[in-house]
Structure 1
Amino acid sequence: MNALFLWRLALDAGVAGLLLFAFAYFWQGNATHEWAGAAIFLLLVVHNLFHRRWFAGLAKGQGARRGPFNTALTMVLLAGMLALLASSLLISETLFAGLRLEDDFIARQIHAGIAYWLLLIVAVHLGLRWPLLMGVARKLLGIARPNALRALVLRLLTLGIAVQGLFSAQVLDLRSRLLFQMSLDWWNFEASVAGFFGHCLAVAGLCICLSHYALLLLQRRRRLAAAKRPAARKADA
């Protein structure tokens, strides 16, 4: 397998991992949180350099090859990351303290809300690429043939993660976060740290599952529609 491709996947995994890590602000402290954020944006610069040809093609009107929704989602993700960076500069207490607003309460609300929206958007982004990721995993693990039992176990595991994701969204009060609302009732990191990350991963898993199977359903409907066209043309003839 292409080493550069694996390097790019590792880079993307690093960005996703750091984004998840940065959610635990009250556990890690402000300085660690800001350094994690700085690392995210450094890796994103490298990520976008790897994909500069895609952006060049988009400027030439070639974005339709990957689908309008995929292109729009990528641009929303990019805009969200830039908004997260801008808001982080306004509330920084360590790395860019000189840019901090005196009254940063609203900026903090916006920053937290954007971060949770990005968690969902990144998960959908991964869901649309899940067949590619599973293909890489099969090659790395040396899995050459399909296996009905393995497929059943993986689907049951996926269902379990999706159900847990619905529960975790309630535990994390995700609705309030996405509506940019602050809450005093927040996670107790002294009681559990792993539990918090587990809930975040479950929510991400739910979004990955929904986007992946929605894409499969859409592709199936397109194939059925394409198969019906020749039959309709013969009937008309």
Structure 2
Amino acid sequence: MNRLFLSRLWLDALTAGLLLLGFAYWWLGNAIHEAAGTAMFLLLIAHNVFNRRWWGGIPRTRREPRSLFNLGVTFALLSAVLALLVTSVLISNALSPFLPPWGGFTLRQIHSLAAYWVLVIVAIHLGLRWPMLIGVARNLFGIKTPNALRMLVLRAIALGVAVHGAWSCIVLGLGGKLSMQMTLDWWNFEESVAGFFVHCAAIAGLIMIITYYGLKLICRRLERRGDPLLGTASIAIAQRVDQHG
């Protein structure tokens, strides 16, 4: 497997890790929070530099549901990240000596709102690329043939993650955070730090699973109808992943 491609995956995983780290503001403190955010944005710039050909190919995007949905998700993610970036600059303590006093309560709310939407959209983004990630894992572990037991175990794990993710949405009050509702519920980092990150990761896992299996369900329905809109490539990917678990 191409080492450059693997290096890019590791950098993307680090970027996702820094995003999760940024949610633990009340545990990390402002300095580490801003350092982690700065590193995350730099890695995002690198990610887009590596994928500059994709941006150049947008005018040639196929007009089929999966490609159009992926395009919409990417632009939604871009919008959320830009909102996160702009608000982070405006409310930054490190930059406050050089900027007018714009960092009010509303901007901090918008910053938090954008951060949680970035988490959700990143999870959808990864869910769309789950077949590719499964292919990478299969190559790394030398898996060549289908295995019914392995597929059953992986699906049981996926079900467990989804159930935990649904519970985590309630525990962290995700619905209120995504609608910028006022709440006094804050995670107590003095009781558990790891628990917070587990809940965040479980929420991301739930959204990835819904995205992946939702897309596969659509593929199968369109295939049974003989609908050419989705494209045979998307259907083939879903079938291969289903066969190999």
Give the TM-score normalised by structure 1. Answer: 0.91
Aligned length: 226
Supply the distance in 1 between the matched residues of 2:107 and 2:44 (Cα, whole angstroms). 22
Supply the distance in 2 between the matched residues of 1:86 and 1:42 (Cα, whole angstroms). 14
Query: Which amino acid is 1:142 matched to?
Result: G
Is the contact made by 1:120 and 1:204 (CA closer than 8 Å) also made in structure 2? yes
Query: Which amino acid is 1:52 matched to?
Result: R
1:62 lines up with 2:60 in the alignment: yes
Supply the distance in 2 between the matched residues of 1:43 and 1:146 (Cα, whole angstroms). 36
Partner of 2:145: 145
Supply the distance in 2 between the matched residues of 1:46 and 1:11 (Cα, whole angstroms). 9
Partner of 2:207: 207
Partner of 1:79: 79
Supply the distance in 2 between the matched residues of 1:79 and 1:174 (Cα, whole angstroms). 20
Is the contact made by 2:169 and 2:203 (CA closer than 8 Å) also made in structure 1? yes
Is the contact made by 1:91 and 1:100 (CA closer than 8 Å) also made in structure 2? no
| Cα distance change, pair 74–46 in 1 and its aligned pair in 2 (3 A) | same
Supply the distance in 2 between the matched residues of 1:53 and 1:103 (Cα, whole angstroms). 37
Query: Which amino acid is 2:62 matched to?
Result: A
Is the contact made by 1:127 and 1:212 (CA closer than 8 Å) also made in structure 2? yes
Partner of 2:161: 161
Supply the distance in 2 between the matched residues of 1:123 and 1:100 (Cα, whole angstroms). 35
Residue segments in structure 1 that go unaligned for 5+ positions in a row: 229-237
Q: What's the CA shift string for 1:92-146, capped at 9, x where partnerless? A: 0124553363551000000001101111100011011111101100110111111
Supply the distance in 2 between the matched residues of 1:36 and 1:185 (Cα, whole angstroms). 24
Supply the distance in 2 between the matched residues of 1:13 and 1:100 (Cα, whole angstroms). 35
Residue segments in structure 2 that go unaligned for 5+ positions in a row: 229-245
| Cα distance change, pair 225–152 in 1 and its aligned pair in 2 (3 A) | same
Query: Which amino acid is 2:208 matched to?
Result: I
Query: Which amino acid is 1:63 matched to?
Result: T
Supply the distance in 2 between the matched residues of 1:15 and 1:224 (Cα, whole angstroms). 39
Larger radius of gyration: 1
Supply the distance in 1 between the matched residues of 2:100 and 2:168 (Cα, whole angstroms). 33
Query: Which amino acid is 1:156 matched to?
Result: A
Is the contact made by 1:113 and 1:177 (CA closer than 8 Å) also made in structure 2? yes
Partner of 1:52: 52
Higher RCO (CA 8 Å, separation ≥ 6 residues):
2
Partner of 1:181: 181
Percent identity reads 56
Query: Which amino acid is 1:153 matched to?
Result: V
Q: How far has the Cα of 1:10 moved from its partner?
A: 1.1
Is the contact made by 2:127 and 2:212 (CA closer than 8 Å) also made in structure 1? yes
Q: State the superposition RMSD in angstroms.
A: 1.6
1:130 lines up with 2:130 in the alignment: yes
Supply the distance in 2 between the matched residues of 1:5 and 1:41 (Cα, whole angstroms). 20
Query: Which amino acid is 1:167 matched to?
Result: W
Supply the distance in 2 between the matched residues of 1:124 and 1:76 (Cα, whole angstroms). 11
Query: Which amino acid is 1:56 matched to?
Result: G
| Cα distance change, pair 177–97 in 1 and its aligned pair in 2 (3 A) | farther
Is the contact made by 1:93 and 1:100 (CA closer than 8 Å) also made in structure 2? no
Stretch of structure 1 that moved more, 139-148 or 20-29? 139-148
Stretch of structure 1 that moved more, 189-198 or 144-153? 144-153
| Cα distance change, pair 3–103 in 1 and its aligned pair in 2 (3 A) | closer
Query: Which amino acid is 2:108 matched to?
Result: R
Supply the distance in 1 between the matched residues of 2:174 and 2:6 (Cα, whole angstroms). 33
1:9 lines up with 2:2 in the alignment: no
Supply the distance in 1 between the matched residues of 2:128 and 2:45 (Cα, whole angstroms). 22
